[in-house]
Structure 1
Amino acid sequence: MRTSFFILGMTFLLLGCAPKSGISKELKESIQTNESFDFVKQKALEVVKTGFNAGDGYGEVWIRDYNTFIELSAEVYPREELKENLRVFFRLQGDDGNILDGFIPQSKAVHTEGGYKYFYSDLEPNYCGHKNTVETDHESSLVQAVYKYVMKTGDREFLNEKIGDKTVAERLQWSMEFLMNHRWSADHGLIWGATTADWGDVQHSHPWGVYITDDTKYCLDIYDNAMMLIALNNIIELLPETKSRWKPVRDKLAKNTMKHLWDESNQKFIPHVYLDGSPYPDDFNENEIFYHGGTAVAIEAGLLNRKQIKTSLDKMIANVKASGAGSIGLTMYPPYPGWAFENKGMYPYGYQNGGDWTWFGARMIQQLVKYGFYQEAYEQLLPMTERVQKNDGFFEWYTVNNEPTGSGTFRGSAGVLYKAIEMLENVSEK
């Protein structure tokens, strides 16, 4: 028995995944007595009670947002309301399996030239939806949201519920088939999207930038592929009978992600691998940019070992110091130059181009807790919770000077921050 434990321990060390250390008495006390944690949790519950749209600046329910606060919503809403939102996305599912970005009541859909193109379905009489086609995370986000709903409520019967001619379980798999049939690079064994900033939904070309156009430059990135990996992990767990179909896909996707997108010498993910040439000039070294959000999601997908996670965290902290930003929610560092995006809001340190988003920063905190970096998780979480308390709200993002901007009731931030705090508190109570 001793030999077995010795071999196991050596295996962890060789992989850079040394067993987690315990939590100190001082840290335990700090977690349990932190005033900003209590404030944030209470405020999060208040905010999530008021609806399902992304925040006060949005009319739609967006799947990439709902995925990050559905667990918190389960604390204050009955199952039926949570399920109904998921059903709407399934009812509006395209005939090729694609999932829309967001839905809105048909009476509130604003039809303007150059604005959103709305999609309707005979299965859904009340809502219509739209799709920001530069993204490749809608399908993965819905799978993850269903997984979180089932895990939180225990309602596995939902998977057998029929919507139109397909069950929820079949529709989940259909959405993954869409990615493989319509967003797949056979040369790389990875899914592609448009050239956006890390996890963003604004491409480099076009003044708005949410739709694929003739000027779109297609590429591979870590965020989209890590999101699909998480979704496949979720499907395999929810539907074990489908393991023979999806595990080989999952394993190859993971292998190809590290093969094509991981820069071993620099211990970071390459921002973009272009399918038909970069949109940027040859003298612009895009690989100098470190993507915070995509890296956090890659860790959630299980792509990095503990040693690589620590290296990534150290880089994030160094980037925060170099930029002067408020937290590791900093989207990326350095940001893209002002000329890199046509959308005027994508200036350096603006919006998704180096804005500071708790929405992703808190996901990194969750992974630090999961992998046993308790002290680091606590230290990097404090700037996020303290500014919620200071500004009395969950703002969408913060400037490089830590000034709040965007929606002040951004439910995605509330959801991920609440979960990060809860994970730390659970560790401190054990």
Structure 2
Amino acid sequence: MNRLFFYITACLLAACTTNKENKILADKILNDKSLQEVRAKAIEVVKTGFNAGDGYGEVWIRDYNTFIELSAQVFDPKELEKNLLVFFKLQGQDGNIVDGFIPKEKAVATEGGYEYIHTDLEPNYAGHKNTVETDHESSLVQAVYKYVKKTGNKDFLNKEVGGKTVAERMEMAMQFLVDHRWAEQFGLIYGATTADWGDVQHAHPWGVYITEDTKYCVDIYDNAMMLIALDNMIELVPKTKSKWQEIRDTIAKNTMEVLWDEKKQKFIPHVYLDGSPYPDDFDENKIYYHGGTAVAIEAGLLNKEQIKTSLNKMIDNVEASGAGSIGLTLYPPYPEWAFENKGMYPYGYQNGGDWTWFGGRMVQQLIRYGFVKEAYEQLLPMTDRVIKNNGFYEWYTVDNKPEGSGTFRGSAGVLDKAIEMLEIWAHKQ
């Protein structure tokens, strides 16, 4: 009897302590004027258009997917719909989705440049596809999901493009991955050898197109993105569940069996279809992928204990590298010889550059899984530098200096959503 009494009392005291701590944290979040300032800046940046940032002429689906919800706050839904429809109008007969699109008058072919894609369905824009990456189809399905959820416009799914509905074209996009990017030996989708979520392969000075030197592999980012897209599609179009739920569950199972290193509690960077492009004495599995891990958590692949371990590893990597935030793409970086593209030097661009675009997604998942204090702590370095540099820069060097576009809308989108999630949590306390 006494034991039960003391147990109940201890539980009540712990609950009271937790509630008090949550209330203090909630007040801190709601009174943090820097968060409100960053959200206001994000709105201003997104108001100015749909291209990735001031350094880009294209609208890219992998970027648009991460700021379409923010765009919905300032644009008429029809404007958002137009952009989504362009991707479907440029869709290939095999179901593939272009990487981005640009006005036809600006789509000037140059030697060694983009190979532009045109269709009879789209008179105003030309598309292009970065063939080394395998996230365009998944990104579009996710963007449609966010658009429908944000606007409530379910009728969009029934809109016809070239005699097929948007819903049917979403399924075509997923089918493309199964038909043309499926590694039978692993039961997973594959792509070229890139750094984490990056779209630059190891071979070729530019690295955005599949070549005869491409080495194919399965990785966590591409497969996690497809899992999220399948979950989204099944929710939006329930009749697809009978076919796609089994495929979704197979990918989830195989992802953990093939790519998760249980001993090291991390994802293996690449599992190759036909041998690694790197020498035998290079241990690629020493590299920790921050971005792919964040997306894997979003896909529901890791439990709370694994998420906390992942966060701890990311924090350790930030401290070891001297980087500014957990947006650090990967650590340690690949050696300089690992990529032909000169911009992929150690801690350069996608090879260890610090990207809020993915760090913000990790913060979102920390909030989602109840690590709110940790989320707030890891968010602040990202919001602080937005204010300090007066912009949403594409990426940061290892010593926290801004690089690339200063109006990178993907960064604005993920930060705004993370702050919104924090505020929603705080209001509930």
TM range (shorter): over 0.9
**Separation (CA, whole Å) in 2 of partners of 1:353 and 1:23:** 38
Counterpart secondary structure, 2:96: coil
**Separation (CA, whole Å) in 2 of partners of 1:67 and 1:23:** 35
**Separation (CA, whole Å) in 2 of partners of 1:218 and 1:79:** 39
Counterpart secondary structure, 1:126: strand
1:23 and 1:428 in contact (8 A); partners too: no
1:45 and 1:72 in contact (8 A); partners too: yes
The question of 1:396 aligning with 2:394 is answered yes
**Separation (CA, whole Å) in 2 of partners of 1:276 and 1:336:** 20
Measured against aligned partners, the alpha-carbon deviations of 1:71-122 in whole angstroms (never above 9, x if no partner) come to 0000000010000000000000001000000000000112101100000000
Deviation at 1:23, TM superposition (A): 5.7
TM-score (norm 1): 0.95
Counterpart position of 2:363 = 365
Deviation at 1:22, TM superposition (A): 8.3
Counterpart position of 1:292 = 290
Counterpart position of 2:72 = 74
| Pairing 1:332-411 to 2, within 5 Å after superposition | 332-411=330-409
After TM superposition, which residue ranges in structure 1, 4 or more long, deviate above 2 angstroms? 20-23
Measured against aligned partners, the alpha-carbon deviations of 1:170-207 in whole angstroms (never above 9, x if no partner) come to 00000000000000011111000000000000000000
Letter of the aligned partner of 2:291 in structure 1?
G
Counterpart position of 2:7 = none
Deviation at 1:327, TM superposition (A): 0.2
User: Residue 210 of structure 1 is aligned with which of 192, 208, 214?
Assistant: 208
User: Residue 235 of structure 1 is aligned with which of 217, 233, 236?
Assistant: 233
Counterpart position of 1:199 = 197
Number of matched pairs? 411
Counterpart position of 2:305 = 307
The question of 1:264 aligning with 2:259 is answered no
1:31 and 1:424 in contact (8 A); partners too: yes
**Separation (CA, whole Å) in 1 of partners of 2:397 and 2:32:** 25
Q: What is the Cα-based RMSD across aligned positions, in Å?
A: 0.9
Counterpart secondary structure, 1:345: helix
1:218 and 1:275 in contact (8 A); partners too: yes
**Separation (CA, whole Å) in 2 of partners of 1:23 and 1:352:** 38
TM-score (norm 2): 0.95
**Separation (CA, whole Å) in 1 of partners of 2:61 and 2:378:** 27
Measured against aligned partners, the alpha-carbon deviations of 1:39-74 in whole angstroms (never above 9, x if no partner) come to 110000000000000000000000000000000000
User: Residue 90 of structure 2 is aligned with which of 85, 89, 92?
Assistant: 92
**Separation (CA, whole Å) in 2 of partners of 1:281 and 1:21:** 54
Letter of the aligned partner of 2:48 in structure 1?
T
**Separation (CA, whole Å) in 1 of partners of 2:284 and 2:72:** 41
Letter of the aligned partner of 1:422 in structure 2?
E
Counterpart position of 1:4 = none
Structure 2: 5+ residue stretches without partners: 1-17
Structure 1's 189 and 22: CA in aligned 2 closer, same or farther, altered over 3 A?
farther
**Separation (CA, whole Å) in 2 of partners of 1:180 and 1:398:** 35
Structure 1: 5+ residue stretches without partners: 1-19
**Separation (CA, whole Å) in 1 of partners of 2:57 and 2:20:** 45
